Amino acid sequence: MNEKTMNETVNILTLKWGNLYGPEYVNRLYAGVKKHLKRPFRFICFTDNSTDINEGIECMAFPDFPVSDRLKWTAWRKFELLKKEVPFDGLSLFLDLDVLITGSLDKFFEYGNPEDFVIIHNWIERRKILFRPQPDIGNSSCFRFVAKQHHYAYERLLAEGDDMIDFYPTEQAGLTDTVRKYKVYWPDEWVRSFKRHCQRALPLNYFLSAKFRPEASIIAFHGRPNPDQAIEGFKGKRVHHFVKPTPWVEKYWFTDQEQSC
């Protein structure tokens, strides 16, 4: 990494609407980024409620999203970040609110070519890939792109709308297919799934805490448990969902100020 590259400001983006995640999720994500990203950055949160979100975080209102109600308040809103009218420029890294930052993020801006659309290769249960390759679908918990260069993806969503929901099982499947020409996957070890790579298999989950993954910089908490649930322990609806209290999550989840209280 040269000095010029290190001094270029990058963007960290996230989305928050409704009551599923409180302002503490935004604040803790920001604290994790601040601790693990050396280069200058803007942290932008598009939200419908900026109450109790910390200074240093740029809160922006959601722009008009001219789609049906089926799409409006769903993960399909991530397509909005790709349109050419966005209020940010340059290399941009999107992070879901429920990811845990555990290591350096600088490499996420150095990997591949700037024009690449870099995304997680979506995880799938091992039993589902015993006799077939891992499906070529991304996981949109973490992806990087150059602002304003993928407007075609937003245009496609506006043009096809509900037809995309009917055709693709998830928003991330639709996103992966749309940007496929530019799509590159992160190295597997950089982003790990708490559910797939940390949780213990039955019956060990009843006796051992979830494993820490030192090779990872990001732990994604897709589905349940959320980070706060993992700290306290999570019962779940089925025996293989059970997670013992996981102390190492607390180290990375709470801010330094919260931990000192």
The domain limits of the chain are: 3-189, 192-260
Q: Is the pTM of this model over 0.75?
A: yes
Report the distance separating Cα 67 and Cα 84, nearest Å. 17
For residues 139 and 84, give the distance between their C-alpha atoms in angstroms, rounded to a whole number. Answer: 23
Q: What is the pLDDT of residue 223?
A: 83
Residue 57, pLDDT > 80, answer yes
- Indicate the SS3 state at residue 54: coil
Q: What percent of the chain has pLDDT over 70?
A: 92
Q: Where are the alpha helices (DSSP H) in the chain?
A: 3-7, 23-36, 69-72, 107-110, 151-160, 162-167, 171-178, 227-232, 247-253, 256-260
Q: Is 116 left (phi over 0), alpha (psi -120 to 50) or beta?
A: beta
pLDDT band for position 128 (cuts 50, 70, 90): low
> Residue 3 class from Cβ within 10 Å (0-12 exposed, 13-18 middle, 19+ buried)?
exposed
Average pLDDT on 211-218 reads 97
The domain 3-189 is classified under which CATH number: 3.30.70.890, 3.30.70.1150, 3.40.605.10, 3.90.550.10? 3.90.550.10
Given pLDDT bands bounded at 50, 70 and 90, which one contains residue 130? low
Q: How confident is the model at residue 135 (pLDDT cuts 50, 70, 90)?
A: confident
